[in-house]
Copies of this chain bind each other. A is one copy, B any other.
């Protein structure tokens, strides 16, 4: 809508702003009513007597300037943000409950999975509790285990017991080539489950772990 485009133009022109954000030393001028219109978190913040509300300056330490600029652009114009910043955007969208942006990001991430990003996206899906994206990531990992497990991002999964367990469960549905029980024992005892082990061994190990209900596969959140 043209009135939304004009809100964004006024923001870019730094007209009539009533609240500032500081991100990594960069200042962003904004308008409480516009932020409150898309975010119940901002509405509550500005209606309350929080210190941000009184000083009209909000310092953000958990985001980056370029990503935040894209966040504001979406908030003001509703237009598609630059998805180069999707990780920052999904984090801000979740933090401030901007549902439309959150859904956009989740949709985008699910449709553009590759070997390099799937591990991070699985982690984000877990962090933000998005079942649909989690399923897409796990399916992708199952179908591309060899390349994903040799990618840089794989360490994110290996370093997280909960994610490791979920990947393992997803792998159950793939055909597994046989290997020796000794290999499984070796893997499960060292707990270096997936990282420096050949894929076939991992698959086999996971299958065995499942069968044995091995602690390797137990959900770390359960007692």
Contact = CB atoms under 8 A, between A and B. Distances in A.
Interface of A: 1-4, 6-7, 10, 15-16, 18, 31-34, 36-38, 43, 46-47, 75, 78, 100
22 contacts: A1-B1, A1-B4, A1-B78, A2-B100, A3-B4, A3-B37, A3-B75, A3-B100, A4-B4, A6-B38, A10-B33, A10-B36, A15-B36, A15-B43, A15-B47, A16-B33, A16-B36, A16-B47, A18-B18, A31-B31, A31-B33, A34-B34
A28 to B, nearest CB: 15
A13 B38 CA distance: 15
Chain A binding surface, main DSSP class:
helix
Contacts of A78: 1, 3
A99 to B, nearest CB: 9
A214 to B, nearest CB: 49
Contacts of A2: 100
Contacts of A75: 3
A47 B15 CA distance: 8
Nearest to A46: B16
Nearest to A18: B18
Contacts of A6: 37-38
A42 B38 CA distance: 23
A100 B100 CA distance: 26
Contacts of A16: 32-33, 36, 43, 46-47
Nearest to A33: B31
Contacts of A100: 2-3
